[in-house]
Structure 1
Amino acid sequence: MTDQPPPPPPEQPPDGQPPPGQPPPYGQPYGQPPGGYDPRWGYGPPGSPHGVPMQGPSEETTWAIFAYIGNAIIGFLPALIIYLVKKNTSPFTRFHAAQSMNQQLTMLIHIVVVLAVCLPPAILMEAPAFLALLLFPYLELLIGGWTFIILGAVKAGKGQYYRFPTFFCYRMIR
């Protein structure tokens, strides 16, 4: 037996990559999003409920903030215009404009449903006390609506995705 030095260790690949000649884990090629997902057109890859976070302030954050501010001042019309203009160019702006519109539509549905339930008995029984139940969706609109509009605008200004609770914002427009 001769005293030979041990063989050199095999060359280690960079962190996060498989050894040469090995397939990547889970059958996913490196550098490609899962399932061929293109992050420019959607809310984010599967398994990521809020999409990919943005890098710093940009024009997209400004438009997203305007969607919420317009919602607070005028109603859903500014968010609708921003959504239609930016839906194919900016997933971040589209997300926030859609959420702003969804919030307005959800609050409108809450008020219309309560009105549809309370108005007929109030008219038929000549008892306007039934209309007092409209106070609950009105307070919901005032307190919850303003709170989530402000919170959404702040998160949009920071370049973050934030989803409102479903009770206040049912996702009808995506």
Structure 2
Amino acid sequence: MEHTADGSLPQPLSPTASERQWAALAHLSALVLALMTSWIAGFAGVLAAAVVYLIKRDDSPFASEHAREAINFNLSMFVYACVAVAIGIALIGVTVLTLGIGLLVTIPAGLVLLLAIGAIAVTWLVCSIIATVKAWNGERYRYPLTLRLFG
């Protein structure tokens, strides 16, 4: 990167209103589409953000950065949901295979799993709203608990 006359790095230009709208749309469309298809099938949220990414990847670094974040976050939430379902199936399997004796283990583990699923769902909803607002305001945002798989 080139330095300015005073030796500092140049500051990035602030995003235009259109770029901010596209960036917010990446988060909001992912949220809405995932909610419409149910949280477990939230893979649709990945698709919504991917559409914004494909449209804006060459035109707007700001919008494409937000779209990538939304893709990674929604993909992470989808992976976490799949893991939760697999653990739930395993808990049911343990109960069945032990002819009900496994309930001593599976009931507390199932309750912890339900709490974890609830916490993930609330985190997903709140972080998606925060990301939408940050994008609308022209700010960068990095989701927590995100596997950076796309990028």
TM-score, normalised to structure 1, is 0.62
Q: What pairs with 1:97-116 in structure 2 (closer than 5 Å)?
A: 97-116=67-86
> Which residue, out of 122, 140, 148, partners 2:127?
148
C-alpha distance in structure 2 between counterparts of 1:99 and 1:153, whole Å: 11
Matched, 1:164 2:143: yes
Corresponding residue number in structure 2 for 1:138: 117
> Whose relative contact order is higher, 1 or 2, with alpha carbons under 8 Å and at least 6 apart?
2
1:58 maps to a residue whose letter is: A
Q: What pairs with 1:9-88 in structure 2 (closer than 5 Å)?
A: 16=6, 53-55=12-14, 57-75=16-34, 76=45, 77-88=47-58
Aligned residue-pair number: 127
Which structure has the larger Rg?
Answer: 1
Does the 8 A contact of 1:67 with 1:82 survive in 2? yes
RMSD value, Cα: 2.6
C-alpha distance in structure 2 between counterparts of 1:136 and 1:92, whole Å: 35
C-alpha distance in structure 1 between counterparts of 2:75 and 2:6, whole Å: 45
1:111 maps to a residue whose letter is: A
C-alpha distance in structure 2 between counterparts of 1:137 and 1:108, whole Å: 14
Identity %: 25
C-alpha distance in structure 1 between counterparts of 2:23 and 2:111, whole Å: 36
Does the 8 A contact of 2:23 with 2:63 survive in 1? yes
Shift of 1:148: 0.8
- In structure 2, list runs of 5 or more residues that go unmatched: 35-44, 97-102
Shift of 1:110: 1.3
Cα distance change of structure 1 residues 102 and 136 upon mapping to structure 2, 3 Å threshold: farther
C-alpha distance in structure 1 between counterparts of 2:15 and 2:51, whole Å: 24
Does the 8 A contact of 1:122 with 1:131 survive in 2? no
C-alpha distance in structure 2 between counterparts of 1:109 and 1:62, whole Å: 28
